[in-house]
Amino acid sequence: MNDIATLQKIASQVRRDIVRMVHGVQSGHPGGSLGCTDFMVALYFRTMKHDPAFNKDAIGEDLFVLSNGHISPLFYSVLARAGYFPVAELSTFRKINSRLQGHPATHEHLPGVRMASGSLGQGLSVAIGAAITKKRNNDDRLVFSLHGDGELQEGQIWEGAMFAPHNNIDNLIMTVDVNGQQIDGPVSKVLSLGNLRAKFEAFGWDVMESEGNDMEKITSALEHAKTLTGKGKPVCNLMHTQMGFGVDFMMNNHKWHGTAPNDEQLATALAQLDETLGDY
């Protein structure tokens, strides 16, 4: 099992990958990617049982569904660093003839991706479906999903939120990246989500909250989430993060949702992030 220091080193490299990938093609979404880095590193390098040999059906493995597909730079970096495909391929992100499409695609057969995402609001339903199949296959591994907070404005999320507790989908841990930002500004101004804990609890979920940008805290939060599974209720982890975490000028600013850094900004960003595993 990777210790916290090791996970932090991986996270630093993944953050370098993210800003370099987005800079390299002058396109992509660094803000949410950086904010969710600690969570996804914890998930893939400690919490989940998974095999980079990639069995698409995930039999006997935990599986992850990325619903907010625009944080693909993070997803790709973590998959590559975990051994799903060569790290060098990260340089092809969003470029022509690449398996690393702007938003995750199964179409290009990139190992580690089991579902297309990008059009928001669909991943909770997909995760629920995968969780049902796990139960029917007597597979006791878990399904994890990640969603943006702005994404919760999509109605389909609430169809899923209603369905999962009614059907006792208790092998599912849904994490919401509560960073309070979306493209047009703060979520509270664009379309307030109100009291998310109360909403999910009212729908019948087991709700917990976590700090997403502290490796020790997010790692233990995920361990805690696992202890809540198998008790008849789906688990909702409201994870508080800062968009752009790790790069000071990108932090907490919705302008970095989908903007690429220029050369100077890249240099500033990389100076804040240690190269721990070697750049691609």
Partner 1 sequence: MKQFPYTEKKDTRSGFGVGILEAGRKNPNVVALCADLVASLKLDAFIKEFPDRFTQVGIAEANMIGIAAGMTIGGKIPFTSTFANFSTGRVYDQIRQSVAYAGTNVKICASHAGLTLGEDGATHQILEDLGMMKMLPGMVVINPCDYNQTRAATMAIAEYEGPVYLRFGRPVIPVFTDPDQPFEIGKAWMVNEGTDVTIVATGHLVWESIQAAEKLEQEGISAEIINIHTIKPLDEEAILKSVSKTGCVVTAEEHNRFGGLGDSVAQLLITRMLAPQEFVAVNDSFGESGTPAQLMKKYGLDADGIIAAVKRVLKRKEA
Judged by beta carbon, residue 171 or residue 181, the one nearer partner 1 is: 171
Minimum CB separation of residue 96 from partner 1 in Å reads 18
Quote the least distance from Cβ 109 to partner 1, whole Å: 10
Contacts with partner 1, residue ranges (CB under 8 A): 56-59, 63, 65, 105-107, 114-119, 121-134, 136-137, 139, 155-156, 159-160, 162-163, 167
Reduced to 3 states (helix: H, G, I; strand: E, B; else coil), residue 211 is: strand
Closest CB to partner 1 among 118 and 186? 118
Please spell the DSSP secondary structure of 18-32, one letter per residue. Answer: HHHHHHHHT-S-HHH
Compute the least distance from the CB of residue 253 to partner 1, in Å. Answer: 29
Handedness of CA 88, 91, 97, 102 (dihedral sign): positive
Element (H, E) at 148: strand 143-148
Q: Return the bridge partners of 19, or none.
A: none
Beta carbon nearer to partner 1, 199 or 255: 199
How far, rounded to the nearest angstrom, does the alpha carbon of residue 42 sit from its chain's CA centroid? Answer: 11
Rounded to a whole number of angstroms, the minimum distance from the CB of residue 150 to partner 1 is 17
Read off the DSSP letter of residue 46: I
Q: How far is the CB of 130 from partner 1 (least distance, A)?
A: 4
Number of residues that this document lists for the chain:
280
Instruction: Give whichever of 141 and 255 is closer to partner 1, judged by the CB atom.
Output: 141
As a whole number of Å, the CA-based R_g of the chain is: 17
- The helix (run of H) or strand (run of E) holding residue 16 is helix 4-25
Q: Name the residue nearer to partner 1 (CB basis): 57 or 216.
A: 57
How many whole angstroms separate alpha carbon 185 and alpha carbon 254?
Answer: 6
